[in-house]
Amino acid sequence: MAAQKTNPGHYFEDFRPGQILRHATPRTVTSGDVALYTALTGSRFAVQSSDAFAQALGYPRSPIDDMLTFHIVFGKTVPDVSLNAVANLGYAECRFLAPVYPGDTLSSTSEVIGLKENSNRQTGVVYVRSTGVNQHGEPVLDYVRWVMVRKRDVNAPAPDELVPKLAKALSPAEIGSACPTIATKHFDLALAGALHRFSDYAKGERIDHVDGMTVEEAEHMIATRLYQNTAKVHFNQFTEQQGRFGRRLIYGGHVISLARALSFNGLGNAFHIAAINAGRHVAPLFAGLTVFAWSEILDCAELPGRDDVGALRIRTIATKDQPCADSPLMQGEGYDPAVILDLDYWALIPR
C-alpha cells in the first residue's frame, strides 16, 4: 500500500513537549501584500503607510504593519499546529524584535512547551512558542500561543499534563528593539493625522474609538488566505456546518487587525506594536457583524536609553454589534456577551 502523501495535520496526541516543528513555505513580503492588507483592514498609521514619512524619521523605507508580520509568521505554523484546531485560545510573551520591510523573506519554527487534555477527552490544549526570522536568520517576532486541538482517537492516552508558566506582561526593558531610534522632530503630527504624543496620555484613561467596521464573508476569507492560514474552521463550510456553530469562524487575528485599525481614532501616533502581553478571543465573530473597539491606558513607561519614543501599555476591547459606549466590559462574573477580544499590548509613540 502506498504511503499517504497528503498532510492530515497534527492531532492532540501527536504532540510532545520539546518537539520542534520547522514550518514550510518561506514567504517574501511584497508591496502587494501591504496594499491588500490595507484594503482588508483599513489601517492608517503613517509610518507604515508612507515611505516619505518613514524615511524622514530615519527608516530606509516604510516598514510593513506589525500585525501583517504577525499574521504571516502565524500562518506558517497552522498546518503543523492548528490545522485540526477547534479554536485559538490566547497569546502571551509576544515580542516584535525588528522591523520587516517589503522584500524581506519570513519563515518560522515552533517548539511545543505545554500540553493539557480537556476533561471531555475529545480535545486538548497545545502550547507552542513560535519564532519568525528574516532571510538573514535574524529573529523578527517571538510569541507563545495556546490552541484547542481535536484528538484523532478519544481513547488515545494523553501525554503528561504540562502547563507553562508565562509572564503576565513584558517589561519596558524587553520591548525597545521593535523600533529603531527615530528623529521625532520630523514626526509631522498633521500628516500623521493625530495630535497626541506620549506625554498626552495618562494611566487609567479610556478611549472610545467610535468607529465600527462590518466584516463580510469574502473579505475575512481573503485576509486569512493572504496569510496562508489553512485552518479548516475559516474556509470549509461543508465541514463547519456540522460543527458547533454551523458556519465558518472569522480568524481571530483578523479581529485583532480590525481592532488595531479602529484604534487609530484616538491612538493614531502609537505607530508600532512592540509586544503583546496577553490576548484572549473571548467569543467568536461571524460575517455580517460589526466590530467596535475601545482602549484603556494601563501604563505609560519610558524605555531605557530612549528619549525618542515612550511606551503605552494598552488594553483594547473589541465588541460585536454593540458600540463601546454602551458596552460594559464585564457582566457578573463573566464578559459582556458583546465582547469578542481582550488584548493587552505595548505600543510605541513619539515623545
Within-domain flag for 2: no
d(CA 309, CA 302): 8
Full residue range of the structural domain in which residue 149 is found: 12-158+167-350
Q: Which of 71-84 are b and which e, b meaning 16 or more Cβ less than 10 Å from the residue's Cβ? A: bbbbbbbbbbbbbb
Where does the pLDDT of residue 230 fall: very low under 50, low under 70, confident under 90, or very high at 90 and above?
confident
Residue 6 lies in a domain: no
Summarised one tens digit per residue, pLDDT across range 322-344 is: 998 766 665 656 788 999 999 99
The answer to whether the beta carbons of residues 270 and 314 sit under 8 Å apart is yes
Cα Dmax for the chain = 69
Query: Mind listing the pLDDT tens digit for each residue in 51-98?
Result: 999 999 999 999 999 999 999 999 999 999 988 888 888 899 999 999
Q: Is 294 inside any structural domain? A: yes
Residue for cell digits 501584500?
33
Number of domains forming the structure of the chain:
1
Q: What predicted TM-score, i.e. pTM, was given to this entire model?
A: 0.93
Given the C-alpha cell 463601546, which residue does it identify? 324
Closest CA to 260 of 246, 271, 245, 250: 271
Dist. CA 79–CA 12, nearest whole Å: 13
Specify if 203 maps to a domain: yes
Quick one: pLDDT at residue 328?
65
Average pLDDT over residues 4-25: 92
